Amino acid sequence: MRNLLKIIVRYYFFFLFLLLEAVSIFLVVQHNSYHQAQFINITRSVEGFFYTNFGGLREYLVLKQTNLDLNMENTLLRNQLDGLNRKMETSTGFIYDSVPRRQFSYIPASVINSSTNKQFNFITLDKGRHHGIEPEMAVISAGGVVGVVYAASGGFSSVIPMINRDFRLSAKIRRNGYFGSLSWTGTGYDLAILKEIPYHVDIRLGDTIVTSGYSAIFPEGIMVGTIRDFEAEEGNFYTIAVTIAVDYKNLSYVNVIRNLLRDEQLELERISGND
């Protein structure tokens, strides 16, 4: 025993090194197991407070581009509104319910911190549980899909963007409706990979990829990106390179989507054992 202590005292440098390294690795691994959000929540609150000021400055610098985007989105919405109005005027169908049920409600939020250069990127929003944001809600911007809320503290929430190696999304080709699984390979903030599209499907460069709506998170038909390149993989599936529609380097305003019927859908799927 005394010899052991002697050795530890003698080589304390090495043992201290091992100890600190072990603590670090423990932190890394703990962070990777995605269920321990508590630690993150605490640091997120501190960090959110800190970045709010800095994010304000950044928002100011990209104000012109943001205005342009907003303007374009307004135009788009106005066009849609007009179309819908016309449809309502001309339709002679029955109205079953005087209060139409909404499935999705949108919560506006600003990005106060984001990373694009790591393998596991994150985005921090300035709204949190107090504003109705909960984990597993979809996040979109004017450009398209941004990511999924991963943890929310009182005033802030953190989002796993599409450019995170743990992100998975069910997406489909808009033109013909075939769907596959979208993920990120960690090479560049504007490139994702769509897999599991069968070999016989007709694919063209530039085809639009949208969300499939087969999860209880994203509504159907939200822009994801366009096909940049594709090749036939071993087996009977294509591997498709997708140019991500959202520019993660220039992201200020987003909408968090709350699925009001999510619990209902999950409950039904649970009962019918259709996971």
Partner 1 sequence: MIKLFTRNIIRFAVLVLLQILVLNNIQISGHIVPYVYILFILLMPFETPNWLLLVTAFALGLSVDLFTQTPGMHAAATVFMAFVRPYVLGLSAPRDGYEPGSFPRLYYYGFKWFLRYTVILVLVHHFVLFYIEVFRFSDFFSTLLRVLISSLFSVILIMLSQYFIYRK
Chain residues in the site for partner 1 (CB under 8 A)? 12-14, 16-17, 20-21, 23-32, 39-40, 43, 46-47, 50, 54, 115-120, 122, 158, 186-189
* Residue 189 or 238 having the CB closest to partner 1: 189
C-alpha count within 13 angstroms, C-beta hemisphere, residue 196: 11
Instruction: Answer whether 170's CB lies under 8 Å from 181's CB.
Output: yes
Kindly state the smallest distance separating residue 98's Cβ from partner 1, in Å.
47
Residues 44, 155: Cα–Cα separation, whole Å: 10
What is the chain's percent helix, strand, coil content, to nearest 5?
35, 30, 35
Burial of residue 86 (CB within 10 Å: 0-12, 13-18, 19+) is: exposed
Compare residues 115 and 208 and give the one whose CB is closer to partner 1. Answer: 115
Q: Which is nearer to partner 1, 158 or 259 (CB)?
A: 158
Round the CA-based radius of gyration of the chain to a whole number and report it.
23
Nearer to partner 1, 109 or 163 (CB): 163
Least spacing, CB of residue 43 vs partner 1, in Å = 6
What is the residue type of 253?
Y
CB of 225 to partner 1, least distance (A): 17
Q: How far is the CB of 104 from partner 1 (least distance, A)?
A: 28
Candidates 248, 232, 250; CA nearest to 240 is 232
Which H helix or E strand runs over 5?
A: helix 2-10
17 versus 199: smaller Cβ distance to partner 1: 17
Angle between helices 37-61 and 63-90 (to 10 degrees): 100
Nearest distance in Å: CB 183, partner 1: 15
Closer residue to partner 1, CB minimum distance, 18 or 266: 18
| For partner 1, the closer CB: 17 or 106 | 17
**Is the torsion defined by CA of 170, 173, 174, 176 positive or negative?**
negative
Contact 139/218 with Cβ under 8 angstroms?
no
Report helix, strand or coil for 4: helix
Q: How far is the CB of 251 from partner 1 (least distance, A)?
A: 13
Greatest extent of the chain over all pairs of C-alpha atoms, in Å: 94
CB of 162 to partner 1, least distance (A): 15
